[in-house]
């Protein structure tokens, strides 16, 4: 009996210690919305915040010329006055959340937390944050991840105003910078201005799961579709603005790259300059890697009349899933394509990784010289046609552009090059977009014909590969496994994309190998063979109408054609001849992560238990 009583007493004392710790996480209200008063309950002297605290910023309109850096490693909530929206019922910020207004001036970072994995969610909520004189940043949060995960962020019910054309050194056109965080950004309203670049977040997962920098480990790990290991954007309203880029960073260059994003149930009222989901590739940012993986679904995009809008998904690296989005535009407007998969390194040397033409060590199949010579003359203004000097080499027409694996011209004189798009007996025509790093050949230059069949981190078709490390990447090929990009059930009102649902600027990325897509406005299945029979592309409908036959990957990958089960909310992949994946096979079928995101809730943590008593026996 005494042993039992001692055990109960020990349990009670342990709980009381826990309860004291819980009560230590308090709610504190600043005297005003002024920076000095808010800082006084975050960094003293009134209170120094601890993990789990809630800081209330009262009603008012305040201008900040100095920001607030949170105590290290903790997660706290900073929230204005009002009632935040939550869940799936509403898109955009609650209008009551405009009562607390902060204007950011002087190039400051208004809020700067640095949480670590295992601590409370970092939350910024329910206020208006406006840009004033001089560029600045609203929120810059850089997390510290562990092998088990990354810290969580919730940024919600904020109206971002007057940021159009914002360009801050180190963060580009992003209002906020988020690095190495999971969680959700929800129910925000972003008001941009047509014709001005604006992104809600510059986002990276540079030290994914606590390993390395520059996005290297994110590119060494599988996609993990349908998991929590992403930064989610849901139920936001964006007017003349996009969600993401990765040109800026919450830290230094080593904290940039490898982003993982899920964007769902957002509403975009767009313009002719901003893409809804976009990022730079493994090129112009220097050492950092491209964004890694995306899911973009159930979003609504409205394109105004007389405006040719950008492709909503415009990515220069990575792979992902794009489905069940609705794009509407007036007949006089236009849309070239819904999804741009462009790899700039195929047309020039940009950002320190060299050109993807067979001369750089990071790409696949380099090392063989197929021709050497000199440029005799150049015609055209882009694309260019090169005539080689001397006697004709006697090439056969278009021998340098086999399907899905083109060759390139490498300019030894200029240390750059470009993909070949056509050739005759003694001429080659090269790809030229006029974009960053694009190559302009010159008569007299020494050239070679080389080949890289796969570019490191190319946009479309490639997944996990070699784990690089350090500021200077190892001179070995990435050897990234096949991982196709998929698009299905996207609806187009007012017309269809001029060049199709998917476009790529390189012939290395081709349909039914590197990406699989439905045709524009493809109907649901009416039988197991129509309109999708399993041989190419993607289909959708009930499980009963899924085709019995399917085509697996043609390049050694584990996924081929695919089928979306509308009655079971999952995407099945063809993993072998006439063999569909299931939720128990490898790879499993894709099922979206729970919606709304678990952090998108108005309820707080559970209260500690009450009415506990210990009775000696």
Kindly state the average pLDDT of the residues 493-511. Answer: 93
Query: Phi, psi at residue 408, to the nearest 5°?
Result: -135, 155
Kindly report the number of other CB atoms within 10 A of residue 484's CB atom: 28
- Residue 1: band (very low, low, confident or very high) from pLDDT cuts 50, 70, 90: very low
Query: What pLDDT score was predicted for residue 25?
Result: 87
Who contacts 233 (Cβ-Cβ below 8 Å, separation ≥6)? 184, 185, 186, 200, 201, 243, 244, 261, 262, 263, 264, 266
CA atoms within 13 A on the CB side of 396: 3
CA atoms within 13 A on the CB side of 16: 9
Query: What pLDDT score was predicted for residue 548?
Result: 97
Percent of the chain residues topping a pLDDT of 90? 83
Domain positions in the chain are 23-343, 371-450
Paired with 48 in beta bridges are 43
Closest among 186, 165, 182, 183 to 174, alpha carbons compared: 165
> How far, in Å, CA of 532 to CA of 489, rounded?
12
Is the domain spanning 23-343 CATH 2.160.20? The answer is: yes
Closest among 290, 293, 185 to 242, alpha carbons compared: 185
> How far, in Å, CA of 580 to CA of 568, rounded?
15
pLDDT digits (tens, 9 = 90+) for 318-376: 999 999 999 998 876 778 899 999 999 999 999 889 999 999 999 999 889 999 999 99
pLDDT digits (tens, 9 = 90+) for 426-471: 999 999 988 888 999 999 999 999 999 999 999 999 999 999 999 9
Query: What pLDDT score was predicted for residue 366?
Result: 82
pLDDT digits (tens, 9 = 90+) for 190-233: 999 999 999 999 999 999 999 999 999 999 999 999 999 999 99
Mean pLDDT, all residues of the chain: 91
Question: Tokens standing for 95?
Answer: 């209008």
Query: What pLDDT score was predicted for residue 24?
Result: 65
Query: Phi, psi at residue 341, to the nearest 5°?
Result: -120, 90
> How far, in Å, CA of 580 to CA of 585, rounded?
9
Q: Has residue 481 got a pLDDT over 80?
A: yes
Contact criterion met (CB below 8 Å) for 579 and 546? no
> How far, in Å, CA of 104 to CA of 135, rounded?
8
Query: What pLDDT score was predicted for residue 20?
Result: 38
- Residue 8: band (very low, low, confident or very high) from pLDDT cuts 50, 70, 90: very low
For residue 540, give the 3-state DSSP assignment: strand
Kindly report the number of other CB atoms within 10 A of residue 471's CB atom: 10
> How far, in Å, CA of 490 to CA of 507, rounded?
24
pLDDT digits (tens, 9 = 90+) for 82-130: 999 999 989 999 999 999 999 999 999 999 999 999 999 999 999 999 9
CA distances (Å), origin 120, targets 44, 54, 150, 202? 20, 11, 11, 23
Reduced DSSP (H G I as helix, E B as strand, rest coil) percent helix, strand, coil of the chain, to 5: 10, 35, 60
Who contacts 477 (Cβ-Cβ below 8 Å, separation ≥6)? 361, 362, 363, 364, 366, 456, 466
What DSSP state is assigned to residue 150?
-
Query: What pLDDT score was predicted for residue 606?
Result: 32
> How far, in Å, CA of 276 to CA of 176, rounded?
16
Q: Which residues of 81-95 are buried (b: 16+ CB within 10 A; e: fewer)?
A: bbebbbeeeebbbbe
pLDDT digits (tens, 9 = 90+) for 364-373: 998 899 999 9
Who contacts 450 (Cβ-Cβ below 8 Å, separation ≥6)? 357, 358, 359, 366, 368, 369, 370, 407, 408, 410, 417
Kindly report the number of other CB atoms within 10 A of residue 9's CB atom: 12
CA angle 41, 46, 52 (to 5 degrees): 40
Kindly state the average pLDDT of the residues 406-424. Answer: 97
Phi-psi region of 264 (alpha: psi -120 to 50; beta: other; left: phi over 0): beta
pLDDT digits (tens, 9 = 90+) for 564-593: 999 999 999 999 999 999 877 667 899 999
CA distances (Å), origin 30, targets 40, 61, 264, 414, 615? 7, 14, 34, 60, 44
Percent of the chain residues topping a pLDDT of 70? 93
CA distances (Å), origin 109, targets 134, 136, 250, 347, 616? 12, 6, 10, 37, 57
- Residue 262: band (very low, low, confident or very high) from pLDDT cuts 50, 70, 90: very high
Who contacts 243 (Cβ-Cβ below 8 Å, separation ≥6)? 199, 200, 201, 233, 236, 261, 263, 266, 276, 277
Higher-confidence position of 11 and 429: 429
Stretch (H or E) spanning 122: strand 122-131
Kindly report the number of other CB atoms within 10 A of residue 362's CB atom: 24
Q: Where are the alpha helices (DSSP H) in 48-152?
A: none
Q: Has residue 308 got a pLDDT over 70?
A: yes
Query: What pLDDT score was predicted for residue 17?
Result: 38
- Residue 3: band (very low, low, confident or very high) from pLDDT cuts 50, 70, 90: very low
Closest among 173, 177, 59 to 126, alpha carbons compared: 59
For residue 397, give the 3-state DSSP assignment: coil
Closest among 166, 207, 208, 172 to 280, alpha carbons compared: 172
Query: What pLDDT score was predicted for residue 4?
Result: 35
Query: What pLDDT score was predicted for residue 617?
Result: 25
Higher-confidence position of 171 and 73: 73
Contact criterion met (CB below 8 Å) for 403 and 421? no
């Amino acid at each position: 009996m005494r042993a039992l009583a001692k055990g109960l007493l020990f349990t009670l004392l342990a709980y009381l210690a826990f309860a004291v710790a819980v009560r230590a996480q308090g709610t504190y209200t600043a005297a005003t919305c002024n920076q000095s008063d808010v800082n006084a309950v975050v960094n003293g002297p009134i209170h120094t915040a601890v993990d789990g605290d809630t800081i209330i910023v009262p009603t008012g309109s305040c201008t900040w010329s100095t920001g607030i850096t949170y105590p290290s490693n903790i997660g706290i909530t900073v929230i204005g006055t009002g009632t935040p929206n939550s869940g799936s019922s509403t898109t955009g910020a609650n209008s009551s959340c405009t009562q607390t207004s902060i204007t950011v001036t002087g190039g400051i970072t208004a809020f700067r937390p640095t949480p670590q994995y295992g601590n409370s969610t970092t939350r910024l909520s329910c206020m208006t944050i406006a840009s004033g004189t001089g560029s600045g940043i609203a929120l810059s949060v850089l997390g510290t991840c562990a092998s088990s995960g990354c810290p969580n962020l919730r940024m919600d019910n904020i109206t971002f105003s007057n940021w159009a054309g914002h360009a801050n050194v180190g963060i580009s056109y992003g209002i906020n910078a988020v690095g190495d965080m999971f969680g959700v950004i929800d129910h925000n309203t972003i008001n941009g201005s047509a014709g001005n670049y604006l992104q809600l977040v510059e986002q990276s997962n540079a030290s994914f799961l606590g390993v390395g920098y520059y996005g290297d480990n994110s590119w060494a790990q599988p996609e993990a579709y349908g998991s929590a290991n992403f930064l989610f954007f849901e139920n936001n309203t964006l007017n003349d603005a996009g969600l993401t880029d990765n040109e800026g960073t919450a830290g230094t260059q080593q904290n940039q790259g490898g982003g993982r994003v899920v964007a769902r149930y957002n509403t975009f009222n767009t313009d002719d300059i901003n893409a809804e989901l976009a990022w730079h590739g493994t090129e112009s940012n220097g050492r950092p890697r491209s964004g890694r993986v995306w899911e973009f679904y159930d979003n609504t995009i409205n394109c105004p009349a007389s405006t040719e809008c950008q492709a909503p998904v415009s990515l220069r690296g990575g792979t992902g899933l794009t489905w069940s989005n609705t794009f509407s535009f007036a007949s006089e407007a236009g849309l070239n394509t819904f999804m741009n998969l462009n790899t700039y390194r195929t047309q020039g040397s940009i950002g320190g990784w060299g050109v993807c033409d067979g001369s750089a060590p990071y790409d696949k199949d380099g090392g063989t010289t197929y021709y050497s010579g000199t440029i005799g003359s150049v015609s055209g203004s882009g694309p260019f046609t090169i005539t080689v000097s001397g006697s004709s080499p006697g090439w056969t027409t278009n021998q340098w552009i086999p399907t899905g694996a083109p060759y390139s011209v490498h300019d030894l004189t200029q240390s750059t090059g470009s993909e070949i798009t056509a050739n005759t007996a003694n001429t080659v025509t090269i790809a030229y977009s006029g974009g960053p790093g694009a190559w302009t050949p010159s008569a007299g230059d020494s050239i070679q014909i080389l080949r890289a069949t796969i570019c490191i981190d190319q946009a479309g078709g490639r997944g996990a590969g070699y784990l690089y490390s350090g500021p200077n990447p190892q001179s070995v090929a990435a050897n990234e496994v096949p991982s196709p990009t998929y698009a299905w059930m996207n609806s187009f009102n007012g017309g269809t994309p001029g060049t199709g649902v998917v476009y790529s600027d390189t012939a290395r990325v081709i349909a039914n190998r590197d990406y699989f897509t439905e045709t524009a406005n493809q109907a649901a299945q009416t039988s197991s063979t129509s309109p999708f029979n399993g041989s190419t592309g993607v289909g959708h409908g009930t499980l009963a109408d899924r085709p019995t036959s399917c085509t697996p990957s043609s390049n050694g990958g584990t996924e081929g054609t695919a089928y979306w089960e509308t009655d079971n909310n999952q995407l099945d992949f063809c993993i072998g001849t006439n063999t569909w994946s299931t939720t128990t096979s490898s790879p499993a079928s894709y099922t979206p992560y729970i919606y709304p995101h678990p952090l998108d809730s108005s309820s707080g943590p559970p209260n500690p238990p009450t009415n506990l008593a210990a009775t000696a026996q």
